[in-house]
Amino acid sequence: MLSVLRLRRLIRQVPLQTSFIFLFLLCILSVFLSSYFLYAVKRKLEPSLTAGHSADDLYVTPSRPLPFLSGVGGTLSSDGTRTDPVVLVFVESPYSQLGQEIVAILEAARFRYRTEISPGKGDMPTLTDGQRGHFVLIIYENILKYVNMDAWNRELLDRYCIEFGVGMIGFFKANENSLLSAQLKGFPLFLHSNLGLKDCTVNPKSPLLHITRARQVFSGPLPGDDWTIFQSNHSTYEPVLLAKTRSAESTGLMHTSVVQDLGLHDGIQRVLFGHNLSFWLHKLVFVDALSFLTAKRLSLSLKRFILVDIDDIFVGKEGTRMKVADVKALVETQNELRRSIPDFTFNLGFSGKFFHAGTDEEDQGDDLLLSYVDEFWWFPHMWSHMQPHRFHNQSVLAEQMMLNRRFAEDHSIPTHLGYAVAPHHSGVYPVHIQLYEAWKRVWDIRVTSTEEYPHLKPARFRRGFIHRGIRVLPRQTCGLFTHTIFHKDYPGGPQELERIIDGGELFLTVLLNPDPCEDKRHKDIWSKEKTCDRFPKLLLIGPQKTGATALYLFLGMHPDLSSNCPSKETFEEIQFFSGHNYHRGIDWYMEYFPLPSNSSSDYYFEKSASYFDSDVAAVRAAALLPRARIITVLSDPVERAYAWYQHQRAHGDPVALKYSFHDVIKASHNAPVKLQVLQKRCLAPGWYATHLSRWLQHYHHDQILVVDGQTLKTDPATVMQKIQTFLGLENQVDYHKILAFDPKKGFWCQLLDGGRTKCLGKSKGQRYPDMDKQSQVFLRSYYRDANIQLSKLLYKTAQVLPGWLREDLLNIR
């Protein structure tokens, strides 16, 4: 108190003039401080457009290859298993070009992914399951969808990324409405948009690089005039790609077109692209970003295996065959390639009948080529260049092959290389046993390749396979196949060839490594007795113990619907797409369906309840039957689980007979293996949203109908009317007139003449003892979240919620 009084007395003694001077000095200091914070600090955060990096600075000033931070995006827990190796891709629409390009790269690299429409104020997909994250990486086709997300979902996603160490990739592509300069909302990062760029280079110090190499500048303009560059002085941002602007005012400085966020700002690592993937270097950096942000969990090997086939080495009309100069150029090219690719060797295909069939100059070229016989690999076509799959006479095929083999022996051409020996225009098709036997007898084939077999577009869907001990490679997967001999005559012109090399199909094939019934070439190699009309147009996929067998019976009552023939092993079910039967081939599958009549109303269907929860059935079915209709019957998962347990008891399953239902569903991970297996078959099929989502990844939701199992049980005629409309059947049947309720069986049966009924067997529709209350309470809790997810999924796909599901949701508090 005494100090305060002394201060007041001192101030009173200060002259008025001195007080004014003191106040003036305080004002000057205030202005100075305000100017500093409003100008200098902001200038540090927001560089001008003219600011940039000189090309020399990139190689002198080291960037910050900071290690991953504990708990920051991109890191993994010590066991490396906190997240599933699945990428969550937010797209603007199912048909957006950039979204499809992102998915194409993920598919080609065999990386698992899930696509979602970018949420605005809608629900975010489920990110976690207990202590485990569902996704290892987040990708936004439009990063602004993330930046402008509602606060609730934004906080939910950011918290997930930080907690589980998940990174993010985003793309920013300007349009006519984009601001020329703006700050990215919530980030110390500034964007300058709608620019033309040129002369791109890679920052050699970027920690992101894996496949990408920073060896030279990509000279020339970058595609498009709608590029965005990133600028910031915050230490969290590191340039990955840099380029100059194309404007007349360009100072020659380098500006960042791809930037890496090290996570120092908010704990989340990101890689942001200032354009889409049309520029080939962006594809490389995108693949590297996948690797870096997932701690190499989603990473491609640096090894590549390239085989170049040169077909029909002696085949061709005069004027198009190889001359001496061409052969020398071939050898020189091979030697040049070997400087970059050790032991690279061209693979030459030959038909001996056409040797020395050109002009004198071309015949000299043939002789010179054979003088280099040991410099190349060789593979045989047919002697007369015929297409072997069109012939079914094994002796003729063997004779043709033997003639070519004798030619090879006469000219010291190796007749067995162990691999890369490929007959022309045909692979090892399971439908051509004679061809297979002839090959084995004459050539001892172990590895072959095929002409785009399977003939799938795009090429990333093709896979090799093994048939009867022969390894079959998918051939011509890079789009280079052409009948054109001369460079200037390449289809589409030489510029088209350059396009597929610079970021096109050939580029992606080296970087990353249609439906058979829609493909004319697949049809051409089939026998005339084969027809895709024998394949089903409808799949009834289950799951088990929901009423699918009853629906199978009702469908078979329709005059336009024909079911498959019964299987000796699995009765009415073929179980082709879900088990070992798949490897028996499509001919085996086709034999279960009758030959089609001339009627246009033929509509085949099959029912296999194991399809619904199979990990592989959906993708396999979509590959063969992409236009098929899918029906699933969903009943209360609690009742379904109990019905499966009682079904197993009725069939004498020793585990089900030994343990009570409650013991089964509550079994721990330390329980006997057979008990755990029974538990999984009781519980897992009831995760309806999980399994249905898998089918929706491969079929449009308009192709899938969800049937309420309870309504099917109580009012099947109404359900059948809905199904007939869904299938678009010409003949509409009134099922009220052909179904009758059988009080003894307790369900609806087929009504026959004279009022008699035809019902399912004794194992169907059984009445079981009531489930114990304790198990009911446990299962209601167990399936609660799964049922909530199912309701969201059905709402999203415009499906009607089953009555049992609506009732269950009402009871959730």
Known catalytic residues are: 545
Whole-angstrom distance between the N-terminal and C-terminal Cα of the chain?
Answer: 62
The answer to whether the annotation marks 767 as part of a ligand binding site is yes
Residue 410 CB partners (closer than 8 Å, separation 6+): none
The answer to whether the annotation marks 813 as part of a ligand binding site is no
C-alpha distances in angstroms, 154 versus 99, 145, 272, 436?
21, 10, 18, 59
Q: What is the rounded distance in angstroms from the CA atom of residue 797 to the CA atom of residue 792? A: 9
CA angle centred on 501, ends 499 and 507, rounded to 5°:
120
CB distance 228 to 193 below 8 Å? yes
The answer to whether the annotation marks 765 as part of a ligand binding site is yes
Q: Is 593 helix (H, G, I), strand (E, B) or coil?
A: coil
Q: What is the rounded distance in angstroms from the CA atom of residue 610 to the CA atom of residue 612? A: 6
Q: What is the rounded distance in angstroms from the CA atom of residue 571 to the CA atom of residue 573? A: 6
Show the tokens assigned to 343. Answer: 């032991």
Sign of CA dihedral 432, 437, 442, 446: positive
Show the tokens assigned to 796. Answer: 């999203």
Count the helices and strands in the chain (H runs, E runs): 28, 28
Q: Angle of helix 394-410 relative to helix 433-443, nearest 10 degrees?
A: 30
Residue type at 786 in one-letter notation: A
Q: State the DSSP string of 540-556.
A: E---TTSSHHHHHHHHH
CB distance 455 to 519 below 8 Å? yes
Closest CA to 363 of 332, 394, 310, 326: 326
Show the tokens assigned to 797. Answer: 């796909």
Closest CA to 695 of 680, 707, 682, 705: 705
Residue type at 38 in one-letter notation: L
Q: Is 58 helix (H, G, I), strand (E, B) or coil?
A: helix
Beta strands in 63-148 (DSSP E): 86-91, 112-117, 128-129, 132-133, 137-140
C-alpha distances in angstroms, 320 versus 313, 361, 365, 380, 609?
11, 11, 12, 21, 58
The answer to whether the annotation marks 766 as part of a ligand binding site is yes
CB distance 594 to 565 below 8 Å? yes
Sign of CA dihedral 156, 157, 163, 164: positive
CB distance 195 to 172 below 8 Å? no
H/E stretch holding 93 reads none
Q: What is the rounded distance in angstroms from the CA atom of residue 660 to the CA atom of residue 505? A: 58
Q: What is the rounded distance in angstroms from the CA atom of residue 288 to the CA atom of residue 210? A: 6
CB distance 388 to 423 below 8 Å? yes
Residue type at 549 in one-letter notation: T
Q: Is 485 helix (H, G, I), strand (E, B) or coil?
A: coil
**How long is the chain?**
813
CB distance 314 to 366 below 8 Å? yes
Closest CA to 362 of 309, 320, 404, 410: 320
Alpha helices in 633-700 (DSSP H): 637-650, 654-658, 661-665, 673-683, 688-696
CB distance 297 to 85 below 8 Å? yes
Binding annotation for 3'-phosphoadenylyl sulfate: 748, 764-768
Binding annotation: 748, 764-768
